[in-house]
Structure 1
Amino acid sequence: MNHQPIASSPSDDVDPARLRRAVVAANIPTLVAVLYQLTADRRWLAERYRPTRSRGMDDNMTGGLPDEVQDEIRAATVDAVLEWNRGAAPANETLDLGALMEVMEFTMGEPVPHEFGPMMSEVLGFDDTPAPRPRREVPSDFSVVVIGAGIAGMLSSVRLTQAGITHVVLEKNANVGGSWWENTYPGAGVDTPSYLYSLSFFQHPWSTHFGKRDEVQDYLEKFADAYDLRSKIRFGTEVESAIYNESEQNWTITARDAEGSPITLCANAVISAVGLLNRPKTPALPGIESFTGELFHSARWPSGIDLRGKRVAIVGAGASAMQIGPAIADVVDDLTIFQRSPQWIAPNDVYFSEVGDDVHWLMDHVPYYHEWYRVRLSWIFNDKVHPTLTVDPEWSEPRLSINATNHAHRGFYTRYLEDELEGRPDLVDKCLPDYPPFGKRMLLDNGWYRMLKRPGVELITEGVAEITQSGLKDADGHGYEFDVIIMATGFHTDRLLYPMDVIGRSGATTREAWGEHDARAYLGITVPDFPNLFIMTGPNTALGHGGSFITMLECQVRYIMDALKQMIDDDLGVIECRRDVYDDYNRAVDNAHSTMVWTHPGMSNWYRNADGRVVAVLPWRIIDYWTMTRHADLADYVTETALTTTQH
Structure 2
Amino acid sequence: MADAADLDQFRQSIAEALPCANVPTLLLLLYQFTGDDYWLKPPFSPIKSRWDDNDSGGLSEPLQSEVRAAALDAIVAWRAGRPIAKPDLSSDELIRMLTTSEAEAIPHEYGEMMVHKLKKYAGATPPPVNLPAGFKILIIGAGMSGVATAIRLKQAAVPYIQIEKQDRAGGVWHSHHYPGCGVDTPGHLYSYTFAGGNWTKFFPLQDELDGYFNRVAREFGVEESIRYGTECLVTRYDEESKTWKSRVRYPDGSEETIETNIVISAVGGFTTPKWPNIPGLHDFDGPVVHTSKWDPSVELDGKRVAVIGNGASAMQIVPATADRVSEMTIFQRSHQWAAPFPKLRMPVPEPVRLLLNQVPHYEWLYRLRLSWIFDSQVHDALQKDPEWPHPDRSVNAINDSHRANYTAYIESQLAERPDLIAKVVPGYPPFGKRMLLDNGWYKTLLKPHVKLVDSAAERIEGRKVIAKSGEAYEADVLIVASGYDISRFLLPVNVVGRGGKSVREAWNDNDCKAYLGTVIAGFPNFFMLYGPNTALGHGGSFIFTVESQIDYVLSTLRQMGERKLAEVECRLDVYETYNETIQAMHRGMIWSHEGMSTYFRNDQGRIVTNSPWRLIDYWNMTKEANLDDYVVKELDEGADEGASERARA
Q: Same fold by TM-score, threshold 0.5 exceeded? A: yes
Partner of residue 40 from structure 1, selected from 29, 35, 45: 35
Segment drifting more, 231-240 vs 405-414: 231-240
Indicate the residue corresponding to 1:24 in structure 2: 19
Structure 1 segment 362-511 matched on structure 2, within 5 A: 362-366=355-359, 368-511=361-504
- The one-letter amino acid of 1:97's match is S
Report if aligned partners of 1:504, 1:531 keep a CA contact under 8 Å in 2. yes
Looking at structure 1, the residues matched to 394 and 427 of structure 2 have their Cα atoms a distance apart, in angstroms, of 9
Partner of residue 49 from structure 1, selected from 44, 49, 57: 44
Report if aligned partners of 2:198, 2:353 keep a CA contact under 8 Å in 1. yes
Looking at structure 2, the residues matched to 245 and 165 of structure 1 have their Cα atoms a distance apart, in angstroms, of 22
Looking at structure 1, the residues matched to 220 and 93 of structure 2 have their Cα atoms a distance apart, in angstroms, of 36
Report if aligned partners of 2:180, 2:320 keep a CA contact under 8 Å in 1. yes
Report if aligned partners of 2:187, 2:197 keep a CA contact under 8 Å in 1. no
Q: Secondary structure at the match of 1:38?
A: helix
Indicate the residue corresponding to 1:207 in structure 2: 200
- The one-letter amino acid of 1:329's match is A
Q: Secondary structure at the match of 1:561?
A: helix
Structure 1 segment 156-175 matched on structure 2, within 5 A: 156-175=149-168
Report if aligned partners of 1:123, 1:374 keep a CA contact under 8 Å in 2. no
Structure 1 segment 275-424 matched on structure 2, within 5 A: 275-366=268-359, 368-424=361-417
Q: Secondary structure at the match of 1:322?
A: helix
Alpha-carbon deviation of 1:126? 8.4
Partner of residue 108 from structure 2, selected from 114, 117, 120: 114
Partner of residue 264 from structure 1, selected from 250, 257, 269: 257
Indicate the residue corresponding to 2:646 in structure 1: none
Alpha-carbon deviation of 1:128? 6.8
Looking at structure 2, the residues matched to 471 and 301 of structure 1 have their Cα atoms a distance apart, in angstroms, of 22
Report if aligned partners of 2:271, 2:492 keep a CA contact under 8 Å in 1. no
Alpha-carbon deviation of 1:326? 0.2
Report if aligned partners of 1:122, 1:128 keep a CA contact under 8 Å in 2. no
**Normalised TM-score (structure 2):** 0.95
Partner of residue 80 from structure 1, selected from 74, 84, 101: 74
Segment drifting more, 81-90 vs 449-458: 81-90
Return closer, same or farther for 1:90/1:128 CA change in 2, 3 Å cut-off.
closer
Alpha-carbon deviation of 1:123? 2.4
Q: Give CA-to-partner distance per residue, 1:122-168, whole Å, 9 cap, x none.
A: 222389795444454x4442111111110111111112222222221
Structure 1 segment 552-631 matched on structure 2, within 5 A: 552-631=545-624
Q: Does 1:220 align with 2:208?
A: no
Return closer, same or farther for 1:127/1:337 CA change in 2, 3 Å cut-off.
closer
Report if aligned partners of 2:267, 2:492 keep a CA contact under 8 Å in 1. no
**Normalised TM-score (structure 1):** 0.95
Looking at structure 2, the residues matched to 529 and 317 of structure 1 have their Cα atoms a distance apart, in angstroms, of 39
Looking at structure 1, the residues matched to 419 and 244 of structure 2 have their Cα atoms a distance apart, in angstroms, of 58
Structure 1 segment 512-591 matched on structure 2, within 5 A: 512-591=505-584
Report if aligned partners of 2:91, 2:115 keep a CA contact under 8 Å in 1. yes
Looking at structure 1, the residues matched to 90 and 127 of structure 2 have their Cα atoms a distance apart, in angstroms, of 27
Q: Secondary structure at the match of 1:243?
A: strand
Identity of aligned residues (%): 44
Q: Give CA-to-partner distance per residue, 1:48-73, whole Å, 9 cap, x none.
A: 000001213x0111001111111111
Alpha-carbon deviation of 1:182? 1.1
Report if aligned partners of 1:124, 1:368 keep a CA contact under 8 Å in 2. no
Partner of residue 241 from structure 2, selected from 248, 260, 264: 248
Q: Does 1:60 align with 2:51?
A: no
Alpha-carbon deviation of 1:635? 0.8
Indicate the residue corresponding to 1:3 in structure 2: none
- The one-letter amino acid of 1:52's match is I
Report if aligned partners of 1:38, 1:92 keep a CA contact under 8 Å in 2. yes
Partner of residue 123 from structure 1, selected from 92, 97, 117: 117
Looking at structure 2, the residues matched to 116 and 270 of structure 1 have their Cα atoms a distance apart, in angstroms, of 32
Looking at structure 2, the residues matched to 428 and 584 of structure 1 have their Cα atoms a distance apart, in angstroms, of 45
Report if aligned partners of 1:148, 1:272 keep a CA contact under 8 Å in 2. yes
- The one-letter amino acid of 1:201's match is F
Looking at structure 2, the residues matched to 217 and 319 of structure 1 have their Cα atoms a distance apart, in angstroms, of 19
Report if aligned partners of 1:28, 1:62 keep a CA contact under 8 Å in 2. yes
- The one-letter amino acid of 1:15's match is F
- The one-letter amino acid of 1:40's match is G
Report if aligned partners of 1:95, 1:126 keep a CA contact under 8 Å in 2. no
Alpha-carbon deviation of 1:475? 1.2
Return closer, same or farther for 1:569/1:376 CA change in 2, 3 Å cut-off.
same
Return closer, same or farther for 1:236/1:612 CA change in 2, 3 Å cut-off.
same
Q: Secondary structure at the match of 1:368?
A: helix
Alpha-carbon deviation of 1:241? 0.9
Report if aligned partners of 1:239, 1:255 keep a CA contact under 8 Å in 2. yes
Q: Secondary structure at the match of 2:259?
A: strand
Segment drifting more, 525-534 vs 76-85: 76-85
Looking at structure 1, the residues matched to 69 and 142 of structure 2 have their Cα atoms a distance apart, in angstroms, of 46
Report if aligned partners of 2:282, 2:288 keep a CA contact under 8 Å in 1. no
More helix by share: 2
Return closer, same or farther for 1:14/1:41 CA change in 2, 3 Å cut-off.
farther
Looking at structure 1, the residues matched to 374 and 587 of structure 2 have their Cα atoms a distance apart, in angstroms, of 23
Number of aligned residue pairs: give it: 637
Report if aligned partners of 1:471, 1:483 keep a CA contact under 8 Å in 2. no
- The one-letter amino acid of 2:572's match is R
Report if aligned partners of 1:14, 1:82 keep a CA contact under 8 Å in 2. no
- The one-letter amino acid of 1:53's match is K
Report if aligned partners of 2:129, 2:557 keep a CA contact under 8 Å in 1. no
Return closer, same or farther for 1:27/1:131 CA change in 2, 3 Å cut-off.
same
Alpha-carbon deviation of 1:92? 1.1
Indicate the residue corresponding to 1:102 in structure 2: 96
Q: Secondary structure at the match of 1:304?
A: coil
